[in-house]
Every structure is written in structure tokens, then in C-alpha cells.
Amino acid sequence: MTENLPVWRKSTQGTSVQCVEVARLPHAVSIRDSKAPDAGHITLTTHTFATLLDLAKQGELP
């Protein structure tokens, strides 16, 4: 039996100091710190992830 592990992709906008990785799941998106991949991750619904991206693009995140 083959385990379906997520494929983590590094942000193309990140720097070597501040970068995240994302993994697309069937109905969600996981996000983790690329410098500490074993520290855990958060998982958002695809709708919530899209909203997060929109807010980030608009500069509305702290």
C-alpha cells in the first residue's frame, strides 16, 4: 500500500529568511514554515486559503 503524502511546494515569493510551503490536499491546503518543516502545519479549506491569499495581495494582513 502506497501512502499518499502531500507534495510541499515552496513559495516563489519567499526569501531565505521568511518562506512558507504549501501542499494541496483533495479539499484543503496545508501551510508550513519551510525552515521548520517538522514543527507542524496548519490546514485550511480551499475557500479560506483563497480568502487568505486575496487579503495578502491587498495588503490587508498585519
Q: Are strands 20-24 and 28-33 parallel, antiparallel or unpaired?
A: antiparallel
Task: With cut-offs at 50, 70 and 90, classify the pLDDT of residue 4.
Answer: confident
Query: pLDDT value at position 10?
Result: 87
pLDDT in tens, 11-55: 776 566 678 899 999 999 999 998 899 999 999 999 999 999 999
- Whole-angstrom Cα distance, residue 53 to residue 29? 12
At residue 16, the 3 state secondary structure works out as coil
Query: pLDDT value at position 1?
Result: 46
- Whole-angstrom Cα distance, residue 44 to residue 29? 5
pLDDT in tens, 53-62: 999 899 998 7
The share of the chain scoring above pLDDT 90, in percent, equals 60
